[in-house]
Amino acid sequence: MFQNFLKEKSPKIGLYKTIMESENIGKEKDYPKLLTELFKFGVAKVQPRNILKDFLSVNKDKIIVKDKEKRVVYSKINKIFCLCIGKASIDMAKTARDILIKTKKLSKGIVVVNKENFKKIDGFECFCSGHPIPNKEGHIAAKSIEENLKNLTKDDLVLIFISGGGSALLSYPAKGISLNDKKELNKILLESGANIKEINSVRKHISLIKGGNLARMCFPSRVHSFILSDVVGDDLSSIASGMTIPDNSTFQDVIKILRKHKIWNKIPKNVKNHIIKGLENFDLETPKKNNSIFQNVSNTLIGSNTLCLKEIHNLCKQKKIKSKIWFKNIEDDVMQLSKKFIKRLYDKNFPHPILLISGGETTVKIKGKGKGGRNQEFALHFIKQIKKSLPLMKFFLLSAGTDGRDGPTDAAGGIVNYKSIEQIKLMNLNLSKELEINNSYEVLKKINSLVIIKGTNTNVADVQLLMLI
C-alpha cells in the first residue's frame, strides 16, 4: 500500500504526503512510517502559514478578520502593532508580516518564542524565552511589551498571535514575587499531576500579564487576538493563560487547586503570601468580563487539536484507510488513559485493520528523576497494560506532541508496537521500575522507538494514532 512516497517537503517538520496505491495494508515495517507521516500531515495542517490567511486579510488600509460567519473590519488605523507569543510565534510572525505588508501602518512588532523554534524575523524584536520553566529572557520580553504598549492610543490596532507555551514563555511575576519563586512554583505545578487548566489558573494569579492583564496593558487600543489552541476543549481563557480573555477563576480557586494536589505547603513563601493577600484585596484579582478594558478586544480561534484530528481522519478517508476519531479532549493521567484505551478495545470488537485517532493532553505525576515526557510515558504504560489484558492483539501506537517536544526532551513522543515489550526485556530493562522513576525516554531510546521531528512551529497538544492490524 505504501510502496511509493511522494516527497513533498514542508519546512520545519519534513512533511511527506503518502501516496497509497491499494486498499490493502502493506508489510508491518511500513506502519511506523505511515503513522509518522499521518502525524506530520496533521501537524502541517495546523501550522500558522497554512491557516492564518483564512482569517486575516488586508483591503487597502482596512484590516479584515473572518471569524466563522462573522466579519470584523478595522479602519481609520493610526498604527498596527503585532505581538506573537508562544511556540508557533515564528510562523505567526512571518505569515502576519506577509499579509500585513500591504498596509503601511505596520510598526515593529515583538516575538516571544522557545529555543527550539527561535529565529530572527525582520520587522520584529525577537526574544528566545524559557519553556517549560520560565527564564529571565521572558521577563525582559514582558517588560519590553509593556513599554511598547504604553505609547498606543485608541486609534491604534494591536494584533496578538497567541499559541501554546505562551504562559511559560512570557513571565511577569506580580509585585513581591521573584522570577526564582515563579520557576520553583512552575516546577512544583508541572510535577504535581495538575492539568493545564488548573496550572494556568494558578499562573494567572501571580502574573501581571496573564489572565486578561495583557488586554489591560493594551487599553485603550483596539485589540484582536488570533489564538491557536493547545488546550482541551479550546477554552480561550486557559490557552497561554488567557492573556486577552476575562478570567473567571479566583484566588479562592487557586488555593483549592494547590490543596487538591497537596502542594499548598510546598510553594514558595512569597507566592503563598501574595495569594493570601489576593483573598482580601480585589485590586489584585484578575480582570473579569464586565471590566471596560475588554470593550474593544476580540478573540478568534484559528486552530485546535480537534482540527488536527479531523485533517488526519479526512486524509485517511481520501486514501481509503479505515479510520475512526476515537477519543477527543483527553485529559487523563497517562496510566488511566492506557487503561481506558484497553478497556474500550476489550469491550468493542473493531474490524482490522483500522486506525483509531485520538488527541488531547494527558498528565503525569513525577515521582522519579528519570528523563521523559507524557507521550513517551503513555506509550510504555499502554504496552505494559495491553500485554496483560489483550496479549494477542497486534498493533502499532504513536503518541506525540504536535509542538515536536515531549517534556524536557528532544523527542516529540514514542512509537511502539505489540513486540516492544519483548524488545525491552531483551535489553534487560525492568519496565515497571523504569516507569516508577519516569524514565520513559531512555527505555524508548534503547529500543529505537522515539519520535524525533524537532520544533514544528505550531502547538495543538498531543495526538495518539493506534493502528490495529
Residue 361: beta bridge partners? none
What region does 176 belong to: left with phi over 0, alpha with psi -120 to 50, or beta?
Answer: left
Judgement on whether residues 345 and 297 belong to the same structural domain of the protein: no
Judgement on whether residues 228 and 313 belong to the same structural domain of the protein: no
Taking residues 4-27, what's their average pLDDT? 39
pLDDT at 131 over 50: yes
pLDDT at 339 over 90: yes
**Could you give the angle at the alpha carbon of 176 between the alpha carbons of 247 and 129, nearest 5°?**
70
As a whole number of angstroms, the distance between CA 469 and CA 80 comes to: 53
**Residue 192: inside a domain, yes or no?**
no
pLDDT at 3 over 90: no
pLDDT classification of 196: cutoffs 50, 70, 90? confident
What region does 305 belong to: left with phi over 0, alpha with psi -120 to 50, or beta?
Answer: alpha
**Residue 280: inside a domain, yes or no?**
no
Domain that holds residue 138: 55-172+207-249+286-303
As a whole number of angstroms, the distance between CA 441 and CA 405 comes to: 12
Which letter, b or e, does each residue of 190-205 get, where b requires 16 or more Cβ atoms within 10 Å of its Cβ? bbbbbbbbbbbbbbbb
Judgement on whether residues 128 and 104 belong to the same structural domain of the protein: yes
Q: Are 460 and 308 in contact (CB under 8 A)?
A: yes
Q: Model pTM? A: 0.88
Task: Indicate the residue among 274, 303, 332 that finishes a domain.
Answer: 303
pLDDT classification of 262: cutoffs 50, 70, 90? very high
**Residue 105: inside a domain, yes or no?**
yes
Taking residues 356-378, what's their average pLDDT? 95
Judgement on whether residues 385 and 414 belong to the same structural domain of the protein: yes
Judgement on whether residues 41 and 83 belong to the same structural domain of the protein: no
What region does 120 belong to: left with phi over 0, alpha with psi -120 to 50, or beta?
Answer: beta
Query: Is pLDDT larger for residue 151 or for residue 327?
Result: 327
**Residue 60: inside a domain, yes or no?**
yes
Q: Are 35 and 17 in contact (CB under 8 A)?
A: no
As a whole number of angstroms, the distance between CA 231 and CA 239 comes to: 6
As a whole number of angstroms, the distance between CA 132 and CA 100 comes to: 31
Taking residues 55-63, what's their average pLDDT? 94
Taking residues 35-62, what's their average pLDDT? 96
**Residue 179: inside a domain, yes or no?**
no
- Give me the chain's average pLDDT, please: 92
Question: What DSSP string describes 282-332?
Answer: GGGSPP-TT-GGGTTEEEEEEE-HHHHHHHHHHHHHHTT--EEEEEEEE--
Judgement on whether residues 85 and 230 belong to the same structural domain of the protein: yes
Judgement on whether residues 449 and 317 belong to the same structural domain of the protein: yes
3 state DSSP class of 50: helix
CB atoms within 10 A of CB 114: 24
Distance separating the N- and C-terminal Cα atoms of the chain: 14
As given in the structure block, the three cell numbers for residue 332 are: 487523563
Q: Are 244 and 160 in contact (CB under 8 A)?
A: yes
% of the chain residues with pLDDT over 90 = 85
Judgement on whether residues 434 and 377 belong to the same structural domain of the protein: yes
| pLDDT tens-digit map of 70-101 | 999 999 999 999 999 999 999 999 999 999 99
pLDDT at 165 over 80: yes
Q: Are 155 and 78 in contact (CB under 8 A)?
A: yes
Taking residues 335-351, what's their average pLDDT? 94
Judgement on whether residues 352 and 394 belong to the same structural domain of the protein: yes
Closest CA to 283 of 353, 226, 213: 213
Q: What is the pLDDT of residue 104?
A: 86
As a whole number of angstroms, the distance between CA 358 and CA 327 comes to: 5
**Residue 77: inside a domain, yes or no?**
yes
pLDDT at 29 over 60: yes
**Residue 211: inside a domain, yes or no?**
yes
pLDDT at 4 over 50: no
Judgement on whether residues 212 and 346 belong to the same structural domain of the protein: no
Q: What is the pLDDT of residue 26?
A: 57
The CATH code of the domain that includes 428 is: 3.40.1480.10
Q: For residue 339, with 0-12 CB atoms within 10 Å meaning exposed, 13-18 middle and 19 or more buried, which class applies?
A: middle
Taking residues 376-391, what's their average pLDDT? 97
As a whole number of angstroms, the distance between CA 68 and CA 422 comes to: 50
Judgement on whether residues 325 and 457 belong to the same structural domain of the protein: yes
Taking residues 134-160, what's their average pLDDT? 96
The CATH code of the domain that includes 235 is: 3.40.50.10180
Q: Are 34 and 18 in contact (CB under 8 A)?
A: yes
Judgement on whether residues 329 and 236 belong to the same structural domain of the protein: no
**Helix (H), strand (E) at residue 468:** strand 462-468
Taking residues 230-255, what's their average pLDDT? 94
Domain count, the chain: 2
Least reliable range by pLDDT among 1-10, 48-57, 183-192, 390-399? 1-10
**Residue 102: inside a domain, yes or no?**
yes
pLDDT at 193 over 80: yes
% of the chain residues with pLDDT over 70 = 94
Sheet holding 62-67, edge to edge: 56-59, 62-67, 70-74
Question: What DSSP string describes 323-374?
Answer: EEEEEEEE--BHHHHHHHHHHHHHHS---SSEEEEEEE--B----SS----H
Cell 466579519 found at:
71
145: CB partners within 8 A, 6+ apart: 83, 110, 112, 170, 209, 214, 217
